[in-house]
Amino acid sequence: MNRRPSDERGAALLSVLLLVAVMAVIAATALDRLTLATRIAGSAATVDQGRAYSFAAEQIALRRVADLVGRDPTKLTLAGGWLGRDFALPLPNGQGTARLTDASNCFNLNSLVAETVPGRFTQRPGGTGQFAELMTLLGVNADEARGVAGATADWIDSDSIDGPLGAEDGVYRSLPGSYLPGNRKMADISELRAVRGVTPKLYARLKPWICALPATDPVKLNVNTLAPEQAPLVAMLLPGQLTIADARAALAARPAGGYGSSVRFWESGPLAKLDPPTDVAEQAGVTSRWLMLKTDVTMGDGFLTSISLIDANGGAPAAGQMPPVIVRRDWGETD
């Protein structure tokens, strides 16, 4: 028999080893892809299940809100310990919490305008003054506050005419990365960061105090659910006339059952010396139309947060006429 030269046997062995190496790489890649696909499928299933639990929490919250409103449609108080309290959700193979807060107690950026006709927005001077006053009370320079308030109102109103201390198309076109104002209601407070004069530092300072509710009505607070540390929101209602200290004192002196009406609130303690106009007095209300539900769901390594805005009036002019409804839902933490 003829024997192969040793160099041929070495080449054959090398070919076999190379083939084995290639097959190993292919197998490892396929296994890695399979593992990734499995994880993606598992994550998708976890997210879907988490969302289902969040939807269930919303239904529970809607019933809870309906009960709160049903007790007394003319007044919403802290009775029952519902505000800002974490309620545990009994979830199989997971855990979750739901927290209900009053979403009315903030400065609604969309209140800077009035919707004169559907889809047409004009500036509300009183709202601009209150927004500037809030910023001033929070330590913002008065001139800077007035400029930001005017620019924010211009951002939302429908026209392209610069308002007092405002900014319209021409200003934003001249900025790096030229863009245009929204000329519509804000959907989220993060839009404020695009307004002229709003720096990251200013946005961070304002963020706990502002909101973007889907309505352009004047700000209407609930003095029965406001905490004393939220006194600047009350003080902003009467620029230059009401101090934070007096507003805090009125909130701290709130009766156990809450104020029965806006009139009773303005007659309390240091506020009795004031004589606010009727429209301003009514901004310190005793009920809440907007509530916020935050739901956190944990399943294994998965974590899901949902934030739902509830209209306690159900779209009706007053509470108790229609059942509460969800009007907006955000997934994940807001910016």
pLDDT in tens, the chain (335 residues): 555 555 566 677 777 778 877 888 887 787 777 766 656 555 667 778 888 889 999 999 999 999 999 999 999 999 989 999 999 988 887 889 999 999 999 999 999 999 988 989 999 989 999 999 999 999 999 999 999 999 999 999 999 888 888 899 999 999 888 999 999 999 999 999 999 999 999 999 999 999 999 999 999 999 999 999 999 999 999 999 999 999 999 999 999 899 999 999 999 988 999 999 999 999 999 999 999 999 999 887 778 899 999 999 999 988 889 999 999 999 876 55
The whole-model pTM stands at: 0.85
CA–CA separation, 282 vs 218, rounded Å? 10
Q: Output phi, psi for 297, to 5 deg.
A: -125, 130
Report the sign of the C-alpha dihedral through residues 194, 197, 200, 203, in that order: negative
Angle between helix 142-156 and helix 125-137 axes, rounded to 10 deg: 140
Positions of CATH 3.30.1300.30 in the chain: 47-103+289-331
Positions of CATH 1.10.40.60 in the chain: 107-213, 220-286
Tokens 């107690």 map to which residue? Answer: 105
- Fold of the domain built from segment(s) 47-103+289-331: Pantoate--beta-alanine Ligase; Chain: A,domain 2 (3.30.1300)
**CA distances (Å), origin 147, targets 109, 185, 218:** 15, 19, 20
- Fold of the domain built from segment(s) 220-286: Ribonucleotide Reductase Protein R1; domain 1 (1.10.40)
The answer as to CATH 1.10.40.60 being correct for domain 107-213 is: yes
In this predicted structure, what is the pLDDT of residue 129? 96
Cα of 41 vs its chain's centroid, Å: 30
In this predicted structure, what is the pLDDT of residue 102? 96
